[in-house]
Structure 1
Amino acid sequence: MKSRRALLMLGLAMVLGLAAVLLAARWLRQPASSSVHIAVAAADVGLGQRLAPDMVALAEWPAGSVPAGAQLDLAALAGRVLKASVQRGEPVTEARLAPAGTLGGLSALIAEGKRAITVRVNDVVGVAGFALPGNFVDILVYAPAQNNGSNGSESALSKIVLERILVLAVAQEVARDDTKPRVVNAVTLEVTPGQAEQLDLARSVGTLSLVLRNQVDPQPGATPGATRHSVLGLGAGAAPAAPTDLAATVPAAAPRLLRAALPPSAEPARYCIGVIDGNRSSRECL
């Protein structure tokens, strides 16, 4: 009886062992996941830089997750300029590269059909240094009051003339990875040719200021502009009303004339009382 049970356990062990061997062999026969070699950054590279041979390298990448526009040939990347910064180990894709033949520097960052124009700023105009590359700003112009001679005078005006303008660079820096404010004396903006003309005229008309706006806010800020009269709550061209002086508006003889115009019955009644003080008596009337 005991030998029979031992043989049964031995047979079961052999069957389970054989099943394990078959499963392991089947798993080992599965094809290995395919991979390809793509170009990645060998070091941190900033935007606007021209790629050198030591800045890129080939790295193994799963074939099923190759990013769109991945580069497979390192020789094709020689001399190409980045329009977006890449960190070490990140794939160098076509979307991060400026068109072939583009020179390095700020010109590689300007979108097709756009222009770059630089305006002078200070710590106040430059939003205390928070207008950094990659931010969007509105352009505000202040035009002082002018006297047009026979045509009258124009009141001082503050008006937003351009909206959602991209900041390309501050001073000579185009890096967009820093979030610390930097007070500089010049800001370079990306504009259309028409906006460049408006901005050039606006800075000759008055003083420019930058208005920092939310990165993802596309809503326009259409306003009629602010004038001295609108800020102070006055009508257009109206002078503030003088305080009312009742003493000046009411003639001095008005109380006497008003009393004379009233009928006798309308005169107020008088109340009299007798006052006795020892041996003396008097009469007082109110």
Structure 2
Amino acid sequence: MKNIKALGLLLLAAVIGLGAAVYAAGWVSQQGSIASNKVVVAVSDIELGSKINPQMLSTIDWPSGSVPAGAFKEIKDVQDRVVRVGVLRGEAILEGKLAPIGTQGGLSAVIAEGKRAMTVRVNDVVGVAGFALPGNYVDVVVNAQQDKSKGEEGKQISKTVLEHVLVLAVAQESGRDDTKPKVVSAVTLELSLGDAEKLDLARSVGTLSLVLRNQVDQLTVDTAGITKNQLFGEQVEPVALPTKVAAAKPRIAHSRPVVASASECVEVIQNGSRALNCF
């Protein structure tokens, strides 16, 4: 009797173990199906403007419920595409990070639509001691001599001519991951066509300075600039502007007989005629 009871317990344990194994296998299979989607990721850091090759990429399983929008499933879909922003190792390759199909590599691939790239010469002072790096935003200030007015000398003035301008590259480097200051001799800015014309005129009439601004500050402030007299608080005498005087109507002088006092006049009678002579 005892042997039969023990055998029954062993059989029950075997059934429970078998059920647990089947359940575990099903759970593992279910978990595997959740992460079955393939996503293309970078296996090394890719700098902006670089053309993608297969050696830079790999595919990994990504949870189906959290696949980012614009992700690719196969490496061949992104081969020879150009990245518009830097991509870090392990990061998914997304359509929004790529330049249009057919774009060649280089700085031109990262210029926004409708914008232009323009380079200006700088030094350690103009270039904000090398802190104006790719990806930063700057304002452009020009110091120039104003045109001379009539009767006045041209005034020296400093004025902000451009605001919130994106730095595309410093010297020949366009990477945006470095935060170490770099003193260079040239900075490339991203501008609209109209702003490019302003900048070209500004650098031809005066000296330029770059003013580094907070990356998230997008407010613009319209200033009138400042002259040397305003800087030192000198009082400027107001210049009297010529007033327009209405033309006076010509007056016609009407002759009137002059009546002199009796003490200065003499009555002369000659040949029967009388005349009054006044002195």
* Same-fold status (TM-score > 0.5): yes
Q: Is contact 1:143-1:206 (8 Å) kept?
A: yes
What secondary structure is seen at the aligned counterpart in 1 of 2:210? strand
C-alpha distance after superposition, 1:48-107 (max 9, x if no partner) = 111112111222222222121111121222211011111222211111111111110000
Q: 1:237 to 1:28 in 2, by over 3 A?
A: farther
Partner of 1:114: 115
C-alpha distance after superposition, 1:109-131 (max 9, x if no partner) = 10001111111111110001100
What secondary structure is seen at the aligned counterpart in 1 of 2:231? helix
Measured in 1, the distance between the counterparts of 2:140 and 2:163 equals 6
TM-superposed CA distance for 1:223, in Å, is 1.9
Partner of 1:199: 199
Partner amino acid, structure 2, of 1:215 = Q
Measured in 1, the distance between the counterparts of 2:83 and 2:172 equals 17
Map 1:55-204 to 2 at 5 A: 55-144=56-145, 147-148=148-149, 150-204=150-204
Q: Which residues of structure 2 form unaligned runs of 5+?
A: 239-279
Q: 1:71 to 1:151 in 2, by over 3 A?
A: farther
What secondary structure is seen at the aligned counterpart in 1 of 2:59? strand
Partner of 2:22: 25
Q: Is contact 1:146-1:156 (8 Å) kept?
A: no
Partner amino acid, structure 2, of 1:113 = G
TM-superposed CA distance for 1:146, in Å, is 5.2
Q: Is contact 1:141-1:161 (8 Å) kept?
A: yes
Deviates more, 1:9-18 or 1:186-195: 9-18
What secondary structure is seen at the aligned counterpart in 2 of 1:29? helix
Measured in 1, the distance between the counterparts of 2:76 and 2:237 equals 70
Measured in 2, the distance between the counterparts of 1:78 and 1:11 equals 64
TM-superposed CA distance for 1:26, in Å, is 3.0
Partner amino acid, structure 2, of 1:109 = V
Partner of 1:45: 46
Map 1:221-236 to 2 at 5 A: 221-236=221-236
Measured in 2, the distance between the counterparts of 1:125 and 1:173 equals 18
Q: 1:142 to 1:25 in 2, by over 3 A?
A: same
Deviates more, 1:103-112 or 1:34-43: 34-43
What secondary structure is seen at the aligned counterpart in 2 of 1:37? strand
Measured in 2, the distance between the counterparts of 1:8 and 1:221 equals 91
Q: Is contact 1:133-1:174 (8 Å) kept?
A: yes
C-alpha distance after superposition, 1:153-184 (max 9, x if no partner) = 23110000100000000011001111111111
TM-superposed CA distance for 1:8, in Å, is 11
Measured in 2, the distance between the counterparts of 1:187 and 1:83 equals 19
Q: Which residues of structure 1 form unaligned runs of 5+?
A: 239-286
Give the TM-score taking structure 1 as reference length.
0.73
Partner of 1:242: none
Partner amino acid, structure 2, of 1:157 = I
Q: 1:28 to 1:177 in 2, by over 3 A?
A: same
Give the TM-score taking structure 2 as reference length.
0.75
Aligned pairs, number: 234
Partner of 1:208: 208
Aligned-residue identity in percent: 52
| RMSD value, Cα | 2.6
Measured in 2, the distance between the counterparts of 1:151 and 1:13 equals 116
